[in-house]
């Protein structure tokens, strides 16, 4: 929590709380953790703020960092030529409430709600497939897509895209 100032997020700090981000946290999971933390911080520091006695800790500009918010549709496009972990992290980072990661299938934009990295045991079966190739649909996992160095399982498509069947996909 910090005091407002003329700059971008550069006001004096009132307090901070560390939030544990798990490897499989989607954006909404992280936002929930931040909201919960914000409530706890406000509850603890509101009386001090009202009395004008809340701490004021100068921010160290050398430790500041800024990242462009990924909220445009183009920021969410999946490049299957990237490594598996980068694609997976990309899907997590632009998930709901952001526009969601997407790819093209037969010229149609398909948005992805959830994904997972498939165990390396499957990698040896698809070493010659091009990144972006649909390898099949595995019960309990979803659509398997080849990446540069592995396989991503698309566990859940956006509701408007769930009408795709593996039969339709394999026909092309």
Domain tally for the chain? 2
Q: Outline where DSSP puts E strands in the chain.
A: 101-105, 108-117, 134-138, 142-146, 151-157
Note whether 52 and 84 are same-domain residues. Answer: no
Tell me the residue range of the domain where 9 lies: 1-66
Note whether 93 and 60 are same-domain residues. Answer: no
Note whether 80 and 164 are same-domain residues. Answer: yes
Q: What is the pTM of this model?
A: 0.78
Residues 4-56 have pLDDT tens digits of 888 877 888 999 999 999 999 999 999 999 999 999 999 999 999 999 999 99
Residues 97-113 have pLDDT tens digits of 889 999 988 888 899 99
Note whether 82 and 154 are same-domain residues. Answer: yes
* Strands, sheet with 101-105, edge to edge from the N-terminal-most edge strand: 101-105, 108-117, 151-157, 142-146, 134-138
Which domain CATH number covers 137?
3.10.25.10
Who's near 35: CB < 8 A, 6+ residues apart?
Answer: none
């Amino acid at each position: 929590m910090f005091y407002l100032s003329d700059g971008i997020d550069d006001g004096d700090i009132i307090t901070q709380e560390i939030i544990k981000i798990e490897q499989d946290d989607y954006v909404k999971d992280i936002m929930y953790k931040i909201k919960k933390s914000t409530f706890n911080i406000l509850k603890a520091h509101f009386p001090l703020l009202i009395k004008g006695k809340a701490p004021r800790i100068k921010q160290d500009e050398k430790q500041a960092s800024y990242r462009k918010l990924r909220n445009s549709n183009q920021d969410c496009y999946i490049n299957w030529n990237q490594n598996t972990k980068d694609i997976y992290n990309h899907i997590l980072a632009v998930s709901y409430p952001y526009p969601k990661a997407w790819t093209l299938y037969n010229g149609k934009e398909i948005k992805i709600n959830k994904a997972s990295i498939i165990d390396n045991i499957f990698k040896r079966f698809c070493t010659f497939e091009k990144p972006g190739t649909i390898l099949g649909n595995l019960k309990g996992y979803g659509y398997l897509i080849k990446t540069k160095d592995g396989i991503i399982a698309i566990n859940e498509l956006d509701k408007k895209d769930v009408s795709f069947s593996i039969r339709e996909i394999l026909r092309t």
